[in-house]
C-alpha cells in the first residue's frame, strides 16, 4: 500500500493513541489534523483552515446551542427541575414504581427544556437518588432509571445533538425536531412499560410511596401543585418547540425566546437573584465553550483526513459490506455503537459521521430518518460502560454505598430498551418521517 494511502489510517491511530493517553479531545483533533495535514499538503493546509473555522463560529443555526444550554441550566439552578420531580413523584406515589415513572417524565420535560444531559442526570441524581434508596428501591434499578431518563435530552427536541446533526447533514433543524418527536416518545414509553412491568413482577425492587406519606396531601392539594409547578415549564416547552416545528421562528430565535422564558419562570417562582444568574451564565459559558472548541478543532482534522483520501477509504470499505444500503446502514449503526464506548457524542458527530454521510446522501436515503437513527444510537453511547458519560455524572453525586457495579448493572436493561427503540425506527422509517411530511417540512 502506498505511503499516501497509509496516512489517513495512521492519522486515526494517532488520534486514538493521544486520546488513550489522556489528552483532551479537542487537542487530539487539532494535533493530528495539523501534523498529518502538513505531512500530506505542506503549508497549503494552513491557508484553507481559517475559512473553515470562520464558517463554524459564524453559523447562525449553531447560535441556538448556547441559548438552549442557558435555558436548561437556568431551570436547573432555579430549582424548577427539583419541584417538578417532587410534585410528579407525589402524584404517582401510589403506584409501584411511581417515583421511577416520575423520573422518566421529568427526564422528558427536562430534555425538552434544554437537551443538556449532564445537568439533567446530576440534578435528578442529587434530588432523587437518596429518596429512592430510603424508600427501598433496588440500587441498580434506581441508578439505571436516573441515567436513562437523563439521556432522553439526546433525542427529545430541542436536543443539542439534533441541532448539530442538522448542520452536518444539511437538514433543517425544524425537520429533525419534528422527526425526533415520535421516536423520543416511543423510547420514553418503553422505559415506562419496563418500570410498570417491574411493579407487577418484581414489586420489591420498585415499592410505592408509604401510605402515611401520601396521606399528608389531599387530591386537591396535589392537583393544585401540579398546576403551579408543571404547567408553566410545560407551556414554555410547547412555545419553543411549537414555534420551531410550526415554522414560526428560526431555531436561534426560538432558543432566545426559551432562554428569556427560563428567566421569567425563575422570577415567577421567586428564585431569580444575582447568585443564580451568575451560576447559570458561568455554567452556560463553560459548556458552550467546550462544545465550540471541539467543533472548531474538528475542522483541521476533517480537512486533512478528506484531503489524504480517508473518505475514499471509508467508501471502499462500505462497498464491501453485504446487504446493500440496509447492510451499510446497519454497519454504520454498529460503528457508532462501538465508538460510543470510548468517545462522546460531539466527537462522534464531527469525526465519524462526515466520513459516512456522503454515501447515504448520494444514494438518496432520507437523511431525516438517518439522523434520528444516529441520534438514538448516540443516546445509547451515554449509557454504555465503561465510558458512558451519564454513568460518570451519576457516580459523581452518588452516596458511597452506591457502587460503580450497581450503576453498570442498572443501565443494562435500558441499553436493551434503547436498542429496541433503534430497531423500531430502523424497521419502520415512518416513525421518523411521518410528522415532518405531515406538517410540510
**pTM, full prediction:** 0.79
pLDDT on residue 77: 80
Instruction: Give dist(CA 15, CA 25) in Å, integer.
Output: 9
Q: Could you read off the pLDDT of 243-271 as tens digits, one per residue?
A: 877 778 888 888 888 889 889 988 988 88
Tell me the three cell numbers of residue 270: 421567586
Contact 174, 437 (CB under 8 A): no
Instruction: Give dist(CA 98, CA 103) in Å, integer.
Output: 9
pLDDT on residue 206: 84
pLDDT on residue 424: 95
Instruction: Give dist(CA 378, CA 333) in Å, integer.
Output: 9
pLDDT on residue 393: 73
Residues with Cβ within 8 Å of residue 166, at least 6 apart in sequence = 61, 172, 173, 175, 176, 371
Determine if the peptide bond prior to 158 is cis (ω within 30°).
Answer: yes
Cα 283 from chain centroid?
18
- Which residue's entry shows cell 404517582? 92
Instruction: Give dist(CA 366, CA 49) in Å, integer.
Output: 31
Domain extent for 313? 3-438
Residues with Cβ within 8 Å of residue 234, at least 6 apart in sequence = 109
Q: Could you read off the pLDDT of 290-304 as tens digits, one per residue?
A: 778 877 887 888 788
Instruction: Give dist(CA 96, CA 202) in Å, integer.
Output: 9
Q: 3-state secondary structure string, the chain?
A: CCHHHHHHHHHHHHHHHHHHCCCCHHHHHHHHHHHHHHHHHCCHHHHHHHHHHHHHHCCCHHHHHHHHHHHHHHHHHCCHHHHHHHHHHHHCCCCCCHHHHHHHHHHHHHHHHCCCHHHHHHHHHHHHHHHHHHCCCCHHHHHHHHHHHHHHHHCCCCCHHHHHHHHHHCCCHHHHHHHHHHHHHHHHHHHHHHHHHHHHHCHHHCCCCCHHHHCCCCHHHHHHHHHHHCHHHHHHHHHHHHHHHCCCCCHHHHHHHHHHHHHHHHHHCCCCCHHHHHHHHHHHHHHHHHHHHHHHHHHHHHHHHHHCCHHHHHHHHHHCCCCHHHHHHHHHHHHHHHHCCCCCHHHHHHHHHHHHHHHHHHCCCCHHHHHHHHHHHHHHHCCCCCCCHHHHHHHHHCCCCCCHHHHHHHHHHHHHHHHHHHHHHHHCCHHHHHHHHHCCC
351, HSE (Cβ side, Cα atoms, 13 Å)? 25
Q: 3-state secondary structure string, 340-388?
A: CCCCCHHHHHHHHHHHHHHHHHHCCCCHHHHHHHHHHHHHHHCCCCCCC
What is the C-alpha radius of gyration for the chain, rounded to an integer number of angstroms?
22
Q: What is the pLDDT along the chain (441 residues), one digit of tens a residue?
A: 555 568 888 888 888 788 778 787 788 888 888 888 888 877 777 787 788 778 777 877 778 878 887 887 787 788 777 777 777 777 776 778 888 888 888 778 776 665 556 666 776 777 777 777 877 888 899 889 988 888 887 788 877 788 888 888 888 888 998 899 999 999 999 999 999 999 888 888 888 776 666 666 666 677 787 788 878 887 887 888 788 777 788 888 888 888 898 899 889 888 888 898 998 888 888 878 877 887 788 788 878 877 777 767 766 776 777 777 888 888 888 888 877 766 667 777 777 787 778 888 888 888 899 999 998 888 887 787 766 767 777 877 777 778 888 888 889 999 999 999 999 999 999 999 999 888 866
Evaluated on CA atoms 293, 55, 382, 344, the torsion sign reads negative
The total number of structural domains that make up the chain: 1
Instruction: Give dist(CA 429, CA 441) in Å, integer.
Output: 16
Tell me the three cell numbers of residue 161: 445533538
CA distances from 197 to 192, 201, 415 (A): 9, 6, 17
Comparing C-alpha atoms, which of 263, 260, 256, 265 is closest to residue 231? 265
CA distances from 287 to 19, 44, 305, 343, 402 (A): 20, 33, 27, 17, 28
Angle, helices 231-245/219-229, rounded to nearest 10 degrees: 40
Determine if the peptide bond prior to 206 is cis (ω within 30°).
Answer: no
CA end-to-end span of the chain: 46
Amino acid at each position: 500500500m502506498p505511503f499516501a494511502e497509509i496516512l489517513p489510517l495512521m492519522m486515526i491511530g494517532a488520534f486514538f493513541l493521544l486520546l488513550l493517553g489522556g489528552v483532551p479531545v479537542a487537542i487530539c483533533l487539532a494535533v493530528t489534523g495539523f501534523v498529518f495535514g502538513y505531512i500530506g499538503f505542506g503549508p497549503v493546509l494552513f491557508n484553507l483552515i481559517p475559512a473553515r473555522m470562520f464558517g463554524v463560529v459564524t453559523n447562525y443555526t449553531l447560535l441556538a446551542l448556547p441559548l438552549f444550554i442557558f435555558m436548561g441550566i437556568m431551570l436547573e439552578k432555579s430549582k424548577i427541575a427539583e419541584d417538578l420531580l417532587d410534585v410528579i413523584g407525589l402524584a404517582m406515589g401510589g403506584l409501584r414504581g411511581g417515583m421511577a415513572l416520575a423520573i422518566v417524565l421529568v427526564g422528558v420535560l427536562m430534555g425538552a427544556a434544554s437537551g443538556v444531559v449532564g445537568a439533567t442526570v446530576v440534578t435528578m441524581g442529587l434530588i432523587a437518588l437518596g429518596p429512592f434508596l430510603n424508600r427501598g428501591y433496588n440500587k441498580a434499578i434506581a441508578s439505571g432509571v436516573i441515567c436513562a431518563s437523563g439521556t432522553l435530552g439526546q433525542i427529545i427536541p430541542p436536543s443539542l445533538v439534533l441541532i448539530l446533526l442538522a448542520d452536518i447533514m444539511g437538514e433543517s433543524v425544524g425537520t429533525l425536531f419534528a422527526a425526533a418527536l415520535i421516536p423520543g416518545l416511543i423510547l420514553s414509553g418503553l422505559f415506562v412499560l419496563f418500570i410498570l412491568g417491574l411493579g407487577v413482577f418484581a414489586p420489591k425492587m420498585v415499592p410505592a410511596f408509604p401510605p402515611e406519606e401520601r396521606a399528608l396531601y389531599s387530591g386537591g392539594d396535589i392537583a393544585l401543585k401540579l398546576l403551579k409547578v408543571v404547567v408553566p415549564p410545560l407551556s414554555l416547552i410547547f412555545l419553543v418547540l411549537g414555534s420551531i416545528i410550526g415554522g414560526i421562528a428560526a431555531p436561534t430565535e426560538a432558543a432566545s425566546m426559551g432562554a428569556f422564558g427560563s428567566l421569567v419562570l425563575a422570577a415567577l417562582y421567586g428564585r431569580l437573584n444575582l447568585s443564580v444568574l451568575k451560576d447559570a451564565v458561568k455554567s452556560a459559558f463553560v459548556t458552550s465553550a467546550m462544545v465550540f472548541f471541539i467543533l472548531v478543532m474538528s475542522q483541521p482534522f476533517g480537512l486533512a483526513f478528506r484531503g489524504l483520501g480517508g473518505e475514499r477509504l471509508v467508501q471502499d470499505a462500505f462497498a464491501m459490506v453485504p446487504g446493500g444500503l440496509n447492510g451499510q446502514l446497519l454497519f454504520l449503526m454498529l460503528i457508532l455503537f462501538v465508538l460510543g464506548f470510548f468517545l462522546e457524542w460531539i466527537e462522534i458527530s464531527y469525526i465519524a459521521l462526515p466520513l459516512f454521510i456522503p454515501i447515504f446522501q448520494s444514494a438518496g436515503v432520507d437523511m431525516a430518518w438517518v439522523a434520528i437513527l444516529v441520534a438514538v444510537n448516540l443516546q445509547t453511547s451515554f449509557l454504555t460502560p465503561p465510558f458512558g458519560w451519564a454513568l460518570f455524572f451519576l457516580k459523581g453525586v452518588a452516596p458511597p454505598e452506591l457502587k460503580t457495579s450497581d450503576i453498570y448493572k442498572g443501565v443494562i436493561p435500558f441499553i436493551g430498551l434503547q436498542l429496541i427503540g433503534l430497531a423500531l425506527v430502523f424497521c419502520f422509517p415512518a416513525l421518523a418521517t411521518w410528522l415532518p411530511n405531515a406538517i410540510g417540512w
